[in-house]
Amino acid sequence: MADGPVRKTLPRLDESLLTHLTPFSRLEGRQIRTILDLASSRRYDAGTAIFEEGHPADRFYMLLDGYVRVIRITANGEQVTALYIPSGELLGIARAIGRDSYPATAVAASESLALSWPMALWDAFVRGYDGFATETHKTVGRRVDELHERVTEMATQQVEQRVANALLRLISQTGRKVETGIEIDFPITRQDLAELTATTLHTVSRLLSAWERRGLIESKRKRITVREPHALVVLAQG
């Protein structure tokens, strides 16, 4: 995937850009000003890799807008979607788990905007900014919990339950209210959903078509809207 435009240092944006984001919410304005002055920004088109699995972890990121799909490559070369990251969260935080390379590939699931800093600044952020380390550990913990939950689902649940759980998780994390229900707020294909639930495109297509006929969901143009969340909860519970 193309590297895209060269990163550019941000103009002097208002400190309120970061004050509502939990890793920086305990900081004073002057501290946030320093952090912003050290940052670079970049806008990513949907489908663009922000960083790639196995590459040196030379930067860490704060996603300001958009959604990111985290991809792992299995030993036999298959692509697996591990999770989705919404705006307002850190990513590329390899140093937090003791790595010097990225453990996965991050791809913009929609047009996205991110700040980034050189990884060489990581230790200074952890030492110098109140709450940054705590919130980073919470972020890592949440993602590990989600991955463990997914592994448990794959080991114990039927495909229909896994797909229902994946849709419920996505509308919980990224859903927005629309006239017909709750829409997943970024383009997602049936292939994406198949990778997320460790099943086949054929199976996901069959399930979504059946649920659409029953009025539980709408699926069109890479957009999925859940019309009957409670019915999906029942399916997810088997």
Give me the mean pLDDT over the 25-35 stretch: 90
Question: How many structural domains does the chain have?
Answer: 2
Indicate whether 199 belongs to any domain.
Answer: yes
Asked whether residue 179 falls in the same domain as residue 126, the answer is: no
What does pLDDT average to over the chain? 90
pLDDT tier for residue 3 given thresholds of 50, 70 and 90: very low
Verify that 177 and 74 share a domain, yes or no: no
Q: Where are the beta strands (DSSP E) in 1-159?
A: 8-9, 40-44, 49-51, 59-65, 67-73, 79-86, 90-91, 105-108, 112-118
Q: Would the pLDDT of 14 be above 90? A: no
| Residue 208: pLDDT over 50 | yes
Rounded to two decimals, the pTM is: 0.83
Looking up residue 196, the CATH number of its domain turns out to be 1.10.10.10
Q: Is residue 148 part of a domain?
A: no
Question: What is the predicted pLDDT for the residue at 73?
Answer: 83
pLDDT at 211 > cutoff 90: yes
Query: What pLDDT band is residue 82 in, cutting at 50, 70 and 90?
Result: confident
CATH number of the CATH domain containing 40: 2.60.120.10
Please give the pLDDT value at position 2.
44
